[in-house]
């Protein structure tokens, strides 16, 4: 998993690339929670454009970070979700939680 971060004023965008699974979910969670604790942005966007796979441990990491961010009053959402990651979020029912503006159609 490759993680890159851009900080633009009150928004931090963290881009993930690769597989979000058992091997990488802990590191992703730690990185995102560090952003919440140390930067405390108004908006935290997790860019999923280059995520090729997401399993239950990846979902758990994303949901746990959402809880921590929400406690701090941070707007937390996933962006550019498509492919297998989108299907996983839809099937598990967490799409509206992590991508609130998604039009379920």
- pLDDT at position 49 over 80: yes
Split at pLDDT 50, 70, 90, the class of 100 is confident
Task: Tell me what the mean pLDDT of segment 74-102 comes to.
Answer: 93
Question: What pLDDT score does 71 carry?
Answer: 96
Question: What pLDDT score does 102 carry?
Answer: 67
Question: What pLDDT score does 80 carry?
Answer: 97
Task: Tell me what the mean pLDDT of segment 44-60 comes to.
Answer: 96
Q: Shortest CA distance to 57 belongs to which of 13, 21, 4?
A: 21
Q: pTM, whole model, 2 decimals?
A: 0.93
Tens digits of residue pLDDT in 12-40 = 999 999 999 999 999 999 999 999 999 99
Task: Tell me what the mean pLDDT of segment 87-103 comes to.
Answer: 88
* 68 to 40, 43, 62: CA distances (angstroms): 11, 13, 10
Domain 2-98, second-level architecture:
2-Layer Sandwich (3.30)
């Amino acid at each position: 998993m490759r993680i890159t971060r851009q900080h633009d004023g009150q928004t931090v965008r963290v881009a993930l690339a690769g597989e979000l699974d058992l091997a990488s979910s802990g590191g992703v969670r730690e990185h995102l929670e560090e952003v919440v604790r140390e930067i405390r942005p108004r908006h935290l966007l997790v860019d999923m454009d280059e995520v090729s796979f997401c399993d239950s441990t990846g979902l758990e990491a994303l949901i746990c970070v959402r809880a921590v961010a929400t406690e701090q009053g941070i707007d937390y959402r996933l962006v550019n979700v498509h492919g297998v990651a989108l299907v996983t979020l839809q099937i598990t029912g967490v799409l509206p939680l992590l991508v609130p503006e998604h039009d379920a159609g």
